[in-house]
Amino acid sequence: MTRTDLDIEFQKAVDSINNHTEPFPADVLLRLYAYYKRATNDEDRPSGKKPLINAFKTNALFQTQHLTVDEAKELYIDTVKQYFIYRK
């Protein structure tokens, strides 16, 4: 897959998540959050009002720190596909 194809697929996956109205399982949200932050080179740390949620987000980011931008995009796309295939 070319970089342009990857970018297009990534944006489609992001759009499908943003347009989805049902709640997501917490583990899926954390993975998507971490992959998205890595894929977009967003270095900002979580800064919400709930320390426990910030801790989970920080941990998710820590677990993905070894990923390249392209790897994070691919994992984001795969996670979205898996979610929509196996959700009930």
For the stretch 39-73, pLDDT in tens is: 999 978 888 889 999 999 999 999 999 999 999 99
Q: What CATH architecture applies to the domain 3-17+25-86?
A: Up-down Bundle (1.20)
Residue 18's pLDDT is what? 95
Domains of the chain: which residue ranges? 3-17+25-86
pLDDT band per the 50, 70, 90 thresholds, residue 88: low
d(CA 5, CA 26): 29
Rounded to an integer, what distance in angstroms lies between the CA atom of residue 17 and that of residue 80?
Answer: 7
Torsion of Cα atoms, 40 then 44 then 47 then 50, to 10°: 50
pTM, rounded to two decimals: 0.91
Number of C-beta neighbours around residue 60 at 10 A: 20
